[in-house]
Structure 1
Amino acid sequence: MKIIRSREFTASRAWGALEIANMGGITTRLHWTDQPYRWHVNDGQEVFAVLDGRVEMRYRDAGEDKSVVLETGDVFYASPGTAHVAHPIGNARVLVVEAQSSQ
């Protein structure tokens, strides 16, 4: 059993993570960041939930670049093959559920 107070979590570097669970190759990790990630495509599906802060999620849909600002409580689902990159607006804490091979 674990109780995690996400607002108290910080990391020594951007996108530092605390692994919460690995359920048969599907990981749930809490990330802290204040810097953008990088454009990437996951090995499978990804669920990205903003627990604290705001994040501009940039993604490609049908070859067109788009973006949406995710507020605390918002969830972004990346289907297989969806290129995306997260740009935090200040500090952010996000919960990411994805295949272990995507990391």
Structure 2
Amino acid sequence: MKVVRSKDFKAERAWGATDIANMSGITTRLHWTDQPYKWHVNDGEEVFVVLDGQVDMLYRLNGEEESVLLNAGDIFFASVGTEHVAHPRGEVRVLVVEREGSV
């Protein structure tokens, strides 16, 4: 049993995380950041949930760069092969569900 108060979580560095669960190789982690990540393609699917703050999610679709503003409560699903990068607007907390060891 575990209770996590996401609004109280702050990592020591950008994209620092605390592990919530590992269910048969699928991890759920709470991340804190105030800096962009890097363009990447995950090793599998990824669910990205904004819990606090706003994130500009940039992604490439058919070679074209697109973006969407994610607010608290919004969910971004990156299917296999989706190149993407998250750019927070200030401090954010996000819940990420993905295969263990993914980028």
What's the TM-score bracket when you normalise by the shorter of the two chains? Answer: over 0.9
Tell me the TM-score normalised to structure 1 length: 0.98
Q: Aligned partners of 1:8, 1:101: CA distance in 2, in Å? A: 25
Aligned residues: 103
Name 1:93's counterpart in structure 2.
Answer: 93
1:15-39 superposed Cα distances (whole Å, 9 cap, x missing partner): 0000000111100000000000000
RMSD: 0.6
**Is 1:80 aligned with 2:76?**
no
Alignment of 1:26-45 (within 5 A): 26-45=26-45
Tell me the TM-score normalised to structure 2 length: 0.98
**Is 1:46 aligned with 2:42?**
no
Q: Aligned partners of 1:2, 1:47: CA distance in 2, in Å? A: 21
Amino acid in the other structure paired with 1:91? E
1:41-79 superposed Cα distances (whole Å, 9 cap, x missing partner): 001100000000000000001111000010000000000
Name 1:61's counterpart in structure 2.
Answer: 61
Q: Aligned partners of 2:32, 2:64: CA distance in 1, in Å? A: 28
Unaligned stretches of 5+ residues in structure 1:
none
Q: Aligned partners of 1:32, 1:64: CA distance in 2, in Å? A: 28
Moved over 6 A (4+): none
Unaligned stretches of 5+ residues in structure 2:
none
Please give the secondary structure, in 2, of the residue aligned with 1:51: strand
